Amino acid sequence: MALVRRFVLASSLARLLQREGGPADRLVEAHFPARSDRTQLVRVERGRASLILRSAGPDGQESEEAVEVPLSHAEALVEVASGTVAFDRTTLALGTRVAAVLDRFIMPQVRTARLDQRLQHRPRRIRQHRISAAPTRGQRA
């Protein structure tokens, strides 16, 4: 089972990572009002469009079904959607067994990005160290 970690990054750091990671793909997602049992959206990427239905299964896991739709239909659905987001997606390799996906948001204009790190194994626990600095001259302890 893969473990996914999600981080929010500053846009400037995302641009640096994107520059190192290679070419990015532009994605547009148009979301429709959510219902208690499912979420619907249209995703347009690289000349393809998909209508996506996400729903929670009986075991609590989220399932996703995607059906390809013509671009003209997708463009019409984007126009009537309640919310639209556009982002550049870059795939990064962070080691031999660690993959990450960097999403830098273009629309709406926000100054953050999202980094999803996908681990194929459980990470070791990181020990926390306490850092204490000795007082310098002129400071009280």
* pTM of the full structure: 0.69
Looking at the chain, list the stretches that DSSP marks H as alpha helix, in order from N- to C-terminal side: 11-21, 71-80
Q: Which CATH code, of 3.40.600.10, 3.20.20.60, 3.40.50.1220, 2.40.320.10, is assigned to 3-119? A: 2.40.320.10
Contact, 120 vs 2, CB < 8 A? yes
Query: DSSP state, 46?
Result: T
Residue 121 pLDDT > 60: no
Model confidence at 129, pLDDT cuts 50, 70, 90, reads very low
**Predicted local confidence at residue 113, as pLDDT:** 73
**Predicted local confidence at residue 77, as pLDDT:** 93
Q: Per-domain residue ranges for the chain? A: 3-119
